[in-house]
């Protein structure tokens, strides 16, 4: 099963990924955990380039860099893991590009999907958890989390940018109800964990992915 986590920074995705993977492994599942951008040596370099405060990428260049990192991840990690019968849990995937570059930067959501067709090779998630959070809450949590460290290039963007991103994520969820589960990220971590686990266990039981051994 291929599971992705989406949403604004500060929504608690990392915590819930860790908790889900722990429960999947305890239940007997073999799980590969990865992230975007990154997840490979080349992808991690691209991540550094994208997030540097002094980087001056154009919108189109930024979108292609995300797609390049994704292409490497799909080819060398995701496809291999799925072929070996392992579950894959990924922190962000192509939906993030549709929201951040397509809507946030104004490139166009459909245009970004087309840019990523070759990169993903038809590999789409079986299940996506969208952590929905008000933009102001996201910014407050992100600032608290980084402490005195400077904001990265993406974090420096305006409230209006992130409002467009959030709206795009919610449109994606509305258009893909069979795949995307919207979670209220202001709820407690324990409540979110239980909802996620029940959804994953039920999806696997219904045959969306390989059963736990």
Q: Residue 121's domain is classified under what CATH number?
A: 3.40.50.300
- Let me know if residue 117 belongs to a domain: yes
Average pLDDT rounded to a whole number, residues 43-70: 96
Question: Does pTM top 0.85 for this prediction?
Answer: yes
pLDDT of residue 213: 33
- Let me know if residue 157 belongs to a domain: yes
- Let me know if residue 85 belongs to a domain: yes
Q: Write the burial class of residue 117 (CB in 10 Å: 0-12 exposed, 13-18 middle, 19+ buried).
A: exposed
The whole domain housing 70 covers: 2-205
SS3 130: strand
| Average pLDDT across the chain, whole number | 95
170: CB partners within 8 A, 6+ apart: 130, 132, 182
> Is the Cα dihedral 186, 24, 19, 92 positive or negative?
negative
- Let me know if residue 211 belongs to a domain: no
Average pLDDT rounded to a whole number, residues 44-63: 95
Q: What percent of the chain has pLDDT over 90?
A: 93
- Phi and psi at 128, nearest 5°, equal -130, 130
Alpha-carbon dihedral 167, 36, 158, 50, rounded to 10 degrees: -150
Alpha-carbon dihedral 38, 172, 175, 117, rounded to 10 degrees: -40
Q: What is the pLDDT of residues 123-147, one digit of tens each?
A: 999 999 999 999 999 999 999 999 9
- Let me know if residue 213 belongs to a domain: no
Given a cut of 50, whether residue 23 has pLDDT beyond it is: yes
pLDDT of residue 139: 96
∠ Cα 73 77 79 (to 5°): 100
Q: What is the pLDDT of residues 7-22, one digit of tens each?
A: 999 999 999 999 999 9
- Let me know if residue 53 belongs to a domain: yes
- Let me know if residue 44 belongs to a domain: yes
Q: What is the pLDDT of residues 171-213, one digit of tens each?
A: 999 999 999 999 999 999 999 999 999 999 998 765 554 433 3
212 or 166, which is more confident: 166
Q: Write the burial class of residue 209 (CB in 10 Å: 0-12 exposed, 13-18 middle, 19+ buried).
A: buried
pLDDT of residue 53: 87
pLDDT of residue 110: 98
Number of domains in the chain: 1
Average pLDDT rounded to a whole number, residues 95-112: 98
pLDDT of residue 211: 38
pLDDT of residue 210: 43
Average pLDDT rounded to a whole number, residues 29-42: 97
pLDDT of residue 204: 78
- Let me know if residue 210 belongs to a domain: no
pLDDT of residue 212: 37
């Amino acid at each position: 099963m291929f599971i992705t986590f989406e949403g604004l920074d500060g929504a608690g995705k990392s915590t819930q990924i860790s908790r889900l993977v722990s429960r999947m492994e305890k239940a007997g599942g073999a799980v590969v955990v990865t992230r975007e951008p990154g997840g490979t040596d080349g992808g991690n370099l691209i991540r550094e380039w994208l997030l540097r405060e002094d980087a001056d990428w154009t919108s189109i260049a930024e979108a292609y860099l995300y797609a390049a990192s994704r292409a490497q991840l799909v080819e060398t990690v995701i496809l291999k893991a799925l072929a070996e019968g392992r579950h894959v849990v990924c922190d962000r995937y192509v939906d993030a590009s549709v929201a951040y570059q397509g809507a946030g930067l104004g490139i166009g959501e459909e245009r970004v999907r087309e840019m990523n067709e070759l990169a993903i090779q038809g590999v789409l998630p079986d299940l996506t958890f969208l952590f929905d959070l008000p933009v102001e809450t996201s910014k407050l949590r992100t600032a608290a989390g980084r402490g005195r460290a400077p904001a990265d290039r993406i974090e420096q963007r305006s409230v209006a940018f992130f409002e467009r991103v959030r709206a795009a994520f919610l449109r994606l969820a509305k258009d893909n109800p069979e795949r995307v589960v919207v979670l209220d990220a202001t709820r407690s971590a324990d409540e979110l964990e239980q909802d996620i686990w029940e959804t994953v266990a039920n999806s696997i039981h219904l045959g969306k992915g390989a059963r736990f051994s």
